[in-house]
Amino acid sequence: MEHNTFPIEGLIEFVPRVFRDDRGFFLETFSMKWFEPFGIQPNFVQDNQSVSAKGVLRGLHFQKPPYAQGKLVRVSSGRALDVAVDLRKGSPTYGQYATCLLDAAKLNVFYIPEGFAHGFVALEDNTTFLYKCTDFYNPASEGGIIWNDPAIGIDWGVATPLVSPKDEVLPLLKDFESPF
């Protein structure tokens, strides 16, 4: 198991060992042991899946406390640029973002703790996005930041992404009071 950390504290990319032979391959897609070196013990309670066409952008979403969610994300087919924006009050990296290219060929996994807005853009058709969450979805606790906020300046790598009407009207970071 390899792992990579990011300049924003708490974000971790895991690259599992893949055992390949002429029959195919095997890997662990999740293990609590991955988190031991970091002293964290996330409690995942819900798994979600989405399938997106190339250019579909979903985000930037979060759940407000007490239903805040940490996420463990990966793709099982296709590729996605995954984005995490730090929304933790008092964080030295508040309002900054990090990206992780999730790739079904690489089989990597990205951990995003509570206190981040999260989104991704599918870079290939039929990108299957899988994620574990540390709390259940609660519609009343849903929140977000507009995907193209100029103050954040995310380079999604897609000229004209397909974004839901709901995601097109999310607030700017400057108009947002962080609950984290």
Report if residue 180 sits inside a domain: no
Domain, as residue range, for 41: 2-175
Reported as a pLDDT band with limits 50, 70 and 90, residue 128 is very high
**8 inside domain:** yes
For residue 36, the model assigns a pLDDT of 96
- With respect to residue 150, please indicate whether it lies within any of the assigned structural domains: yes
The verdict on residue 71 lying in a domain is yes
Omega of the bond prior to 66 within 30 degrees of 0, cis? Answer: yes
**Which pLDDT tens digit goes with each residue over 79-93?**
999 999 999 999 999
- What's the confidence (pLDDT) of residue 53? 98
Q: Is 118 a catalytic residue?
A: no
CATH number of the domain that residue 156 is part of: 2.60.120.10
Q: For residue 56, which phi and psi values (nearest 5 degrees)?
A: -75, 130
Task: Specify if 159 maps to a domain.
Answer: yes
Catalytic residue among 3, 61, 94, 97: 61
Residue 94 known to be catalytic: no
pTM of the model: 0.96
Q: What is the largest CA-CA distance in the chain?
A: 55
Output the pLDDT for position 147.
98
- Pairing state between β 127-133 and 97-103: unpaired
Query: What percent of the chain clears pLDDT 90, i.e. is strictly above it?
Result: 98
Closest CA to 71 of 28, 22, 11: 11
**Phi/psi at 153 (5° precision):** 70, 40
d(CA 171, CA 24): 45
- Is 127 within 8 Å of 79 (Cβ atoms)? yes
Total count of domains within the chain: 1
Q: What percent of the chain has pLDDT over 70?
A: 100
Contact present, 157 and 100 (Cβ < 8 Å): no
Q: In sequence order, what DSSP letters do the residues of 50-79 get, joined into one string?
A: EEE-TTEEEEEEEE-TTS---EEEEEEESE
Per-residue pLDDT band at 149 (split at 50, 70, 90):
very high
